[in-house]
């Protein structure tokens, strides 16, 4: 009889319900391994509900399901008590499969580089080459990065929040709306904040169709939204081959710290444009990109564990990320309006300025859809791809600057 009762007790203490209701007792049973075993308690139940909400937004509302569904599943799996999927089992010392993915791909910075390789293979730099001034729009959209950086430093004056320059720089990169870059910078400068920063960056990337349109409409007039741009000139194959080589060369000379991201981006693009390694290009665009997206999404979602996510600093990061994204969108739109004042003979539809954030190709699609709401025959997608791909380059360059400069500044002020 005692054996049956002991078996029932062990069964009860191994359930998720016990982990939700009695976290202290469960952690006591783990002893010294509790720190590596992951979160338990009601907070985990709340985060599982957040994961279900993300699934709803992805499946029902169609908000970038390729990103949100893996992130949502990572969130759900990492918050199941005693499953040790994204942590270390305190009894056996074995790591869960998501923790293995996280350690191998996120902490090492490998996944962001591979993502950039795939993005490069799928990207057509033709619109940027045909209309080089759109590079300025991509640069203007990076204004959100430095706005968020300053905002993070200001938030440090509030009780309960302590963001140093490393953390503020990592938060700032969210303003580029580039999840892989945000992960790469944070893994180098502030790895302890990687979970909340990565989640904020990818959440805002997925919510581009909701966040950007109100800002775009508020900053433009109907007349500006109706502007039809001149058709882009054809870009030769030679130009498309020279472009990635030239960009990488300039980056290697001026900013080597950005070369891991820029190099992967340009390698992927060159593989596509040269036309002689189609098998490699196809692998980067499809098999590699899809595989890494799955692993990256699960790994990012796993950092939405209750003990790391439900705190004041994470809330501050989410707010700053929203502000940074809004400022980046506004920066691109306002610069486009200024360009029209300086060069009225070659007008730019300000809506494409919002595509300067580097959420490729979501931001460009949003610009195109907003333009077609005013004029169904106004096709802005290819024009918007110019600032969109320049935003990818711009965020990678900003990342290289921060990785190079911030540690030196921390040393000076230490």
Q: Tens of pLDDT along 283-324?
A: 999 999 999 999 999 998 888 877 677 677 778 888 888 888
Is there a domain that residue 382 lies in?
Answer: yes
- 95 backbone dihedrals φ, ψ, rounded to 5°: -90, 145
Same structural domain, 76 and 192: no
Same structural domain, 172 and 70: no
Distance set, CA 28 to CA 22, 31, 90, 198, 363 (Å): 10, 5, 11, 31, 49
Same structural domain, 123 and 261: yes
Same structural domain, 118 and 222: yes
Same structural domain, 310 and 387: yes
Same structural domain, 57 and 143: no
Same structural domain, 81 and 116: no
- Residue among 136, 181, 202, 144 at smallest CA distance from 330: 144
Confidence band of 22 (pLDDT split at 50, 70, 90): low
Q: Examine the pLDDT at 380 and tell me if it is beyond 70.
A: yes
Instruction: Convert the pLDDT of each residue in 105-141 to its tens digit.
Output: 988 889 999 999 999 999 999 999 999 988 898 888 8
Is there a domain that residue 93 lies in?
Answer: no
Is there a domain that residue 2 lies in?
Answer: no
Same structural domain, 274 and 307: yes
pLDDT score at 362: 83
Distance set, CA 317 to CA 170, 303, 324 (Å): 10, 14, 10
Distance set, CA 233 to CA 122, 132, 229, 383 (Å): 21, 12, 12, 11
Cα–Cα distance for residue pair 379/383, rounded to 1 Å: 8
Same structural domain, 279 and 397: yes
Range of the domain at 265: 106-413
- Residue among 377, 387, 375, 381 at smallest CA distance from 334: 387
Q: How many domains in the chain?
A: 2
Is there a domain that residue 101 lies in?
Answer: no
Same structural domain, 306 and 261: yes
pTM of the complete model = 0.86
b (16+ CB within 10 A) / e for 138-176: bbbbbbbbbbbbebbbebeeeeebebebbbbbbbbbbbb
Same structural domain, 159 and 22: no
């Amino acid at each position: 009889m005692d054996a049956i009762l002991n078996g029932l007790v062990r069964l009860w203490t191994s359930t998720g319900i016990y982990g939700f209701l009695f976290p202290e007792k469960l952690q006591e049973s783990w002893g010294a391994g509790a720190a590596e075993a992951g979160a338990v308690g009601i907070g985990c139940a709340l985060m599982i509900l957040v994961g279900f909400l993300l699934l709803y937004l992805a499946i029902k509302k169609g908000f970038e399901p390729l990103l949100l569904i893996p992130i949502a599943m990572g969130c759900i799996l990492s918050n199941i008590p005693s499953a040790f999927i994204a942590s270390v089992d305190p009894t056996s010392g074995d790591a869960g499969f998501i923790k293995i993915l996280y350690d191998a791909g996120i902490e090492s910075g490998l996944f962001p580089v591979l993502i950039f390789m795939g993005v490069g293979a799928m990207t057509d730099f033709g619109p940027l080459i045909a209309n080089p001034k759109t590079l300025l729009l991509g640069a203007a959209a990076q204004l959100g990065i430095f706005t968020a950086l300053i905002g993070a430093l200001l938030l440090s004056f509030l009780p309960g929040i302590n963001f140093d320059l490393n953390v503020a720089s990592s938060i700032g990169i969210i303003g580029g709306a580039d999840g892989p870059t945000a992960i790469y910078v944070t893994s180098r400068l502030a790895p302890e904040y990687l979970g909340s920063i990565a989640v904020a960056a990818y959440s805002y990337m997925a919510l581009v169709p909701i966040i950007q349109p109100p800002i775009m409409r508020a900053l433009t007039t109907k007349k500006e939204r109706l502007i039809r741009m001149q058709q882009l000139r054809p870009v030769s194959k030679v130009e498309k081959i020279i472009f990635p080589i030239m960009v990488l060369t300039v980056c290697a000379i001026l900013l080597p710290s950005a070369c891991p991201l820029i190099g992967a981006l340009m390698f992927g693009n060159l593989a596509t444009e040269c036309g002689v390694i189609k098998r490699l290009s196809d692998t980067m665009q499809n098999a590699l990109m899809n595989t890494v997206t799955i692993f990256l999404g699960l790994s990012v979602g796993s950092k939405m564990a209750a003990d790391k996510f439900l705190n004041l600093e994470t809330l501050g990061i989410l707010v700053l990320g929203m502000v940074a994204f809004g400022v980046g969108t506004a920066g691109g739109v306002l610069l486009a309006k200024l360009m029209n004042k300086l060069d009225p003979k070659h007008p730019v539809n300000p809506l494409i300025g919002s595509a300067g954030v580097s959420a490729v190709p979501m931001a460009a699609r949003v610009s195109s859809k907003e333009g077609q709401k005013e004029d169904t025959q106004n096709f802005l997608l290819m024009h918007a791809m110019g600032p969109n791909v320049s935003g990818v380059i711009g965020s990678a360059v900003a990342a290289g600057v921060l990785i190079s400069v911030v540690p030196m500044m921390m040393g000076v002020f230490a």
